[in-house]
Amino acid sequence: MKLRFLGGAGEVGRSAVLVNDSLLLDYGMMTGNPPSFPVGSRDLDPEAVVVSHGHLDHAGTVPALLSGDARPPVHWTPPTYELAMTLARDTLKLHGGSYRCPFTENDVKRLTQVSTLHGYGEPFEAGGHEITFYDAGHIPGSAHVLVDDSGVQSTPGNRTQSDDGETRLLYTGDFHTDDQRVVPGTTARPDADVVLTESTYSDVSHEDRTTLEERFAESVRTTLWEGGSVVVPAFAIGRTQEMLLVCEAYDLPCYVDGMGKRVTRMLRQYPDYIRDPEALRRATSHARFVTGRDGQRRRIVDSGTVVVTTSGMLSGGPAMTYVPTIRSNPVNKITLTGYQVEGTPGRDLLDTGSAEIDGRVMPVAAQVESYDFSAHADREGLLGFLDEYRGSEVLVNHGDRCGAFAAELREDGFEASAPELGETVVV
């Protein structure tokens, strides 16, 4: 089996792996200014595309595959399809018509015609391979992708370099081994000869989730007692729903704003992909959905409440109104809920106490706290997962220290390596 690493190798963002020149796994986008896309895109002509989950860094560039004459089928779970469509429309809104946007509205429309939906544990054929999705426990609809090439025909146009043509690759996608409120942790460990694993938190141990939630709830309550408000920046997909579930469970009054509103309503249509659909129903009715504009937003956030809002790293969204409104009163609080990438306003705020919000650098007197509500396995989670694959070859991607983690795995007796961007690996 031949694997070509077009993105996500030694980095987080723009994940893309081409299998046997025919099957594309993920086609993501790296946010930034300007955003970046998988390498070698121009000569890319996959027979089929399989998408692990509906986050921008895995699904964000998929519509661009339909900008020429090719119409490869795109396979995903129903929530992943819906999320990818939401992301594509959002990208068009942000960048549409500019040179930065690699696809058009027409390409996004075409996506509806080539889309093929699959549930977990239902094998299907794609690009000459047999594919099976398993619940990856990351966000609703997220999948580990098992790729079996035993069905590949050795034709001149589609040659596999492995001599027997019988390799099972497990592409983990992003995964979590612990339960979150929105989705349960992964339990699937399908047999595989090769595991291509994410490694985002390979040097981090997450705080126990219950302890983390209690600490968060206590901090929020303190601010509310003191008459302050709390802004909770959260990614629209996964994290917003998780924070609404936490607010409901601890009876914290909250509003929700930004793209997370739409995503929450949409995900409620897919109860099979939610850990506790009834809890999500309660959380959705517990939260108040902000429908007004900036004037109303300022009144809301001045009223001593919690606002869960995009964007998670303060790089856009209604947070651009909420943060300036509350920033000068030290009774107020901003609670970041996930990793803040270097160079984002969220990271600057944590490091320096001021951040560029909506084009203006502003000092923030409000308290700033950080909570690790991660949707990824930590070091122990990754090692526990991989322990089930001691006889398999392990390839490490999707992290800032892929090479170091691969070396640690080798020391622990694994056959492990970290492919580089643009590299082709034969397994």
Q: Which residues bind Zn ion (CB under 5 A)?
A: 55, 174
Least distance (Å) between residue 233 CB and Zn ion? 17
Least distance (Å) between residue 336 CB and Zn ion? 18
Least distance (Å) between residue 175 CB and Zn ion? 9
Does residue 15 contact residue 57 with C-beta atoms inside 8 Å? yes
Least distance (Å) between residue 11 CB and Zn ion? 14
Least distance (Å) between residue 177 CB and Zn ion? 15
Least distance (Å) between residue 85 CB and Zn ion? 17
Question: 55 vs 333, which CB is nearer to Zn ion?
Answer: 55
Least distance (Å) between residue 174 CB and Zn ion? 4
Least distance (Å) between residue 161 CB and Zn ion? 30
Strand order in the sheet with 2-7: 115-117, 74-76, 48-50, 23-25, 16-19, 2-7, 424-426
Q: Is 17 left (phi over 0), alpha (psi -120 to 50) or beta?
A: beta
Question: 255 vs 273, which CB is nearer to Zn ion?
Answer: 273
Angle value at C-alpha 41, between 40 and 43, nearest 5 degrees: 80
Question: 35 vs 128, which CB is nearer to Zn ion?
Answer: 35
Question: 183 vs 364, which CB is nearer to Zn ion?
Answer: 183
Least distance (Å) between residue 410 CB and Zn ion? 26
Question: 135 vs 174, which CB is nearer to Zn ion?
Answer: 174
Question: 174 vs 393, which CB is nearer to Zn ion?
Answer: 174
Does residue 164 contact residue 173 with C-beta atoms inside 8 Å? no
Question: 385 vs 414, which CB is nearer to Zn ion?
Answer: 385
Does residue 12 contact residue 400 with C-beta atoms inside 8 Å? yes
- C-alpha dihedral over 241, 245, 246, 250, to 10 degrees? 150
Least distance (Å) between residue 282 CB and Zn ion? 26
Question: 47 vs 57, which CB is nearer to Zn ion?
Answer: 57
The count of other CB atoms within 10 Å of the CB of residue 362 is 16
Question: 55 vs 75, which CB is nearer to Zn ion?
Answer: 55
Question: 87 vs 131, which CB is nearer to Zn ion?
Answer: 87
Least distance (Å) between residue 129 CB and Zn ion? 23
Question: 12 vs 254, which CB is nearer to Zn ion?
Answer: 12
